[in-house]
């Protein structure tokens, strides 16, 4: 009798992430964003707000389009969180941030970045290098090298500032918490401390990818007039950012591949300039933000695994996230490792797997993580 291999289909994962802010961390969840800031008196200020429909709609799952949306989201939410955290950290009275102040700050930040990292390298190359070379390919390559050099020098210089250096340690705290969560570990200090301050989906790696990809994109344009070159350096930024986002996303999901790891290595190495080893106080702040967005996500109405009915508001879910569950299919004896969400009493669970031709039940055990907010799925499909 021919053995059957069983394949369990699981829902696409959601990747939590965030950024460092003044004396704190911002975390972004499925439906909300949370900002945790350490006040001067030592207390943690924790605020949460729902995400706008643009940041959580279907378009955010479309390849390349999602990169542009994430860029807008990062600029808007990041700037808003920084302005809010600055108020809390300075013990100032909390005020609503006006749209004028928010978008004015975004425009100034974008204009500064474009001028420093795109226009300045172009002008330096065009007037100091191009008179001595004839190849447009070499010209664009030199421009790209200058651009990356300016970026690294900029990170090095701002990293010398005490305030920025402290901001970078909160960046490391954010990475440690996300790494621990994605490894299935409890969101507690004793577990989070041991994780790395680098992460494959870090914004630093994304920026480096954008700078490298820009060399290829601009090289395809040749060496047009100076004004057309300046215009291209501005209008093509969203396109380059979209490609860069897909590269980082692909790399993060295929990191076990040796070639992919080698491509991501420069970005991970560069993160040593933008992250620092956090103390326990900073880790606690990052943990507060992460737990808040997970709690908010879990408060949504999810199907019950047993009945298929949604839970009412205020009900307590009995679903937990196991660390890394292993079991054997009865036919093929092939071991499967599944990071799954399911229900059950402490220490064990029974999972019903349904297919078109048969249904079977598999008992397995897992390490309960009750402090991680629940997320339940109605069924797991078994493909024969």
pLDDT, tens digit, 9 for 90 and up, residues 207-254: 999 999 999 999 999 999 999 999 999 999 999 999 999 999 898 888
**Of the candidates 356, 296, 352, 217, the residue with the CA atom closest to the CA atom of residue 33:** 296
- Give me the residue label for tokens 């601009």: 218
Query: Can you count the helices (H) and strands (E) in the chain?
Result: 12, 12
Q: Give phi and psi for 381, each to the nearest 5.
A: -90, 140
Q: Give phi and psi for 25, each to the nearest 5.
A: -140, 140
Q: Supply angle C-alpha 79, 85, 89, rounded to 5.
A: 150
The CA distance from 59 to 337, in Å, is 31
Pairing status of strand 7-9 against strand 359-365: unpaired
pLDDT at 300: 58
pLDDT at 93: 62
pLDDT at 332: 39
The CA distance from 151 to 120, in Å, is 11
Q: Which residues of 339-378 are buried (b: 16+ CB within 10 A; e: fewer)?
A: ebbbbbeeeebebebeeeeeeeebebebebbeebbbbbee
Burial of 92 (0-12, 13-18, 19+ CB in 10 A): exposed
The CA distance from 78 to 68, in Å, is 15
| Count, residues in the chain | 384
pLDDT at 95: 64
- Model confidence band, residue 145 (pLDDT cutoffs 50, 70, 90): very high
Judged by DSSP in three states, 359 sits in strand
pLDDT at 13: 66
Domain boundaries, the chain: 17-298, 304-383
Percent of the chain with pLDDT over 90: 46
Contact 144, 138 (CB under 8 A): no
Contact 313, 301 (CB under 8 A): yes
pLDDT, tens digit, 9 for 90 and up, residues 89-137: 877 666 667 777 777 888 898 899 999 999 999 999 999 999 999 899 9
Average pLDDT for the chain: 77
């Amino acid at each position: 009798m021919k053995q059957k291999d069983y394949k369990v289909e699981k829902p696409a994962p959601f990747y939590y992430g965030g950024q460092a802010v003044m004396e704190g961390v911002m975390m972004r969840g499925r439906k909300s964003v949370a900002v945790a800031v350490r006040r001067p008196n030592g207390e943690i200020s924790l605020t949460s707000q729902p995400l706008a429909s643009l940041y959580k709609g279907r378009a955010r799952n479309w390849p390349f389009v999602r990169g542009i949306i994430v860029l807008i989201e990062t600029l808007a939410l990041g700037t808003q969180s920084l302005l809010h955290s600055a108020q809390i950290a300075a013990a100032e009275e909390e005020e609503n941030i006006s749209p004028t102040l928010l978008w004015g700050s975004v425009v100034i930040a974008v204009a500064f970045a474009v001028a420093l990292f795109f226009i300045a390298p172009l002008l330096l190359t065009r007037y100091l290098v191009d008179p001595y070379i004839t190849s447009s390919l070499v010209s664009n390559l030199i421009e790209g090298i200058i651009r990356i050099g300016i970026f690294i020098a900029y990170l090095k210089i701002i990293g010398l500032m005490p305030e920025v250096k402290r901001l970078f340690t909160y960046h490391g705290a954010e990475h440690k918490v996300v790494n621990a969560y994605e490894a299935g570990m409890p969101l507690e200090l004793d577990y989070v401390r041991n994780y790395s301050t680098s992460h494959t989906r870090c914004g630093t790696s994304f920026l480096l990818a954008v700078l490298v990809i820009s060399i290829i994109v601009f090289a395809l344009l040749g060496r047009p007039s100076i004004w057309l070159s300046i215009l291209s350096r501005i209008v093509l930024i969203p396109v380059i950012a979209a490609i860069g986002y897909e590269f980082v996303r692909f790399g993060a999901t295929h990191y076990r591949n040796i070639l992919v790891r080698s491509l991501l290595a420069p970005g991970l190495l560069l993160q040593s300039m933008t992250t620092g080893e956090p103390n326990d106080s900073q880790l606690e702040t990052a943990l507060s933000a992460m737990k808040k967005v997970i709690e908010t996500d879990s408060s949504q109405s999810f199907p019950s695994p047993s009945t298929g009915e949604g839970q009412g508001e205020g009900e307590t879910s009995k679903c937990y996230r196991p660390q890394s569950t292993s079991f054997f299919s009865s036919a093929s004896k092939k071991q499967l490792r599944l990071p799954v969400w399911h229900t059950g009493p402490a220490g064990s669970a029974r999972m019903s797997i349904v297919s078109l031709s048969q249904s079977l039940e598999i008992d397995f055990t897992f390490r309960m993580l009750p402090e991680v907010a629940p997320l339940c799925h109605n069924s797991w499909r078994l493909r024969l």
